[in-house]
Structure 1
């Protein structure tokens, strides 16, 4: 992976930090802290917390500089990953898990109630029973038109009938379904 000159400088600074070069660490901080601070601030949304986190992040960078492998990832990507992961860890610690569970209890279930679900199943079974009373090609045309959204033209081609015949099939089938469902 070819690096631009700035990336090469940052990669060299990280390598020198791995050798415990304090001057290189100071330079690395000066060159990259603004960018990493922006990443951390976007995640934490609190300036004071982000300022504290950035100090902890640079301690991690100092301690883990020997883990960076030049050429495998860009140096800035590696630094941003360290910062991002640290900030996400702070966010995870910040909110207790039990709070999330308690909030979830207050969220209404958008799905049907057990009674509504049972009614829908019964209604579906009635519709399927009534569809079964139709000739198979008519039932397939009704499903295609009203469940799958096929047009009259598409259904006419699919069943190899003229379009007016398809309209007649659907109209008569719907009349029979209405009669069956009203029983």
Structure 2
């Protein structure tokens, strides 16, 4: 949503506009938007560094202003500052979330492909076919307790950390570490 092109009013009462928003007055939200959007867009752009992302942030921020207007407390600070803090937090959240999104590098992508292939293979193939394809390793893996086998596959096929495995199998971290250690020991013994 591009910012409004209207002229700002130096006597605009942000607190009254927020109170009206809290009562469900959509025109009050529009007046806040007309008064502040171009400045708020600038705040968002300085943080997210992209006009398109800043416009998205501004939209999300105005949704938050509308839904949270009842929580504004004039005793805790100025209404205009409260509005700006909503935009600033929305922009920072956008930056944080985009920092978590990253393209997969080749080894990670290969691990995900291997994991998908292993899952498909386990669902489709019978035990004899798997044993013939994997040989002794397949026999040894099939001989493990299901939890140990699952943890080992997550660790060595999916490339997951111990804490990620614990979250996936919904088991305590110490238990997962023990299952992996015991599973590896059992595999070594089986493969000799």
Q: What interval of TM-score do these two structures reach, taking the shorter chain for normalisation? A: 0.3 to 0.5
Larger Rg: 1 or 2? 1
Q: TM-score, normalised by structure 1?
A: 0.48
TM-score (norm 2): 0.46
